[in-house]
Amino acid sequence: MSSALTDLFPHPIVQAPMAGGVSVPQLAAAVCEAGGLGFLAAGYKTADGMYQEIKQLRSLTSRPFGVNVFMPQPEYADPAAVDVYAHQLAGEATWYEAELGDPDSGRDDGFEAKLVVLRDNPVQVVSFHFGVPGREVVDALHRVGTFVLAAATTPDEARAVERAGADGVIAQGVEAGGHQGTHRDIPETDRSGVGLLSLIAQVREAVSIPIIAAGGIMRGGQIAGVLAAGASAAQLGTAFLATHESGANALHKQALTNPLFVRTELTRAFSGRPARGLVNRFLREHGPYAPAAYPEIHHLTSPLRKAAAKAGDAQGMALWAGQGHRMARELPAGQLVEVLAGELAAARASLTGGGVL
Q: Judge contact between 26 and 251, C-beta under 8 A.
A: no
Does position 129 bind ligand FMN by CB under 6 A? yes
- Contact segment (CB under 6 A) with ligand FMN among 133-141, 185-193, 232-240, 330-338 equals 232-240
Give the residue with the Cβ less far from ligand FMN, 217 or 300.
217
Q: Judge contact between 163 and 174, C-beta under 8 A.
A: no
Give the residue with the Cβ less far from ligand FMN, 215 or 295.
215
Q: How many residues does the chain have?
A: 357
- Contact segment (CB under 6 A) with ligand FMN among 28-36, 90-98, 201-209, 238-246 equals 238-246
Instruction: Find, among 192, 236, 191, 245, the residue nearest to 213 by Cα.
Output: 236
CB of 234 to ligand FMN, least distance (A): 9
- Helical residues (DSSP H) of 248-294, grouped into ranges: 250-257, 281-286
Q: What's the DSSP call for residue 105?
A: S
Does position 168 bind ligand FMN by CB under 6 A? no
CB of 357 to ligand FMN, least distance (A): 24
From residue 196 to residue 215, the character string flagging contacts with ligand FMN as x (rule: CB under 6 A) and all else as - is: ------------------xx
Does position 43 bind ligand FMN by CB under 6 A? yes
118: helix, coil or strand?
helix
Q: Which helix (H) or strand (E) holds 167?
A: none
Q: What's the DSSP call for residue 37?
A: B
- Helical residues (DSSP H) of 152-295, grouped into ranges: 155-163, 196-206, 220-228, 238-241, 250-257, 281-286
Q: Which of 25, 155, 165, 177 binds ligand FMN (CB under 6 A)?
A: 177
CB of 297 to ligand FMN, least distance (A): 16
Taking the C-alpha atoms of residue 269 and residue 278, their distance in angstroms, rounded to an integer, is 12
Q: Which of 117, 320, 328, 337 binds ligand FMN (CB under 6 A)?
A: 320
Does position 317 bind ligand FMN by CB under 6 A? no
Does position 36 bind ligand FMN by CB under 6 A? no
Does position 236 bind ligand FMN by CB under 6 A? yes
Taking the C-alpha atoms of residue 142 and residue 135, their distance in angstroms, rounded to an integer, is 10
Going from the C-alpha of 254 to that of each of 223, 249, 258, 327, the distances in angstroms are 24, 9, 6, 12
Does position 154 bind ligand FMN by CB under 6 A? no
Q: What's the DSSP call for residue 100?
A: P
Give the residue with the Cβ less far from ligand FMN, 278 or 304.
278
Give the residue with the Cβ less far from ligand FMN, 110 or 324.
324
Q: Which of 5, 40, 67, 176 binds ligand FMN (CB under 6 A)?
A: 176
CB contact burial 98-114 (16+ within 10 A = b; e otherwise): bebbebeeeeebbbeeb
Taking the C-alpha atoms of residue 146 and residue 353, their distance in angstroms, rounded to an integer, is 38
Per CB under 6 A, residues contacting ligand FMN are 16-19, 22, 41, 43, 68, 129, 151, 172, 175-179, 181, 214-217, 235-239, 241, 320-322, 324
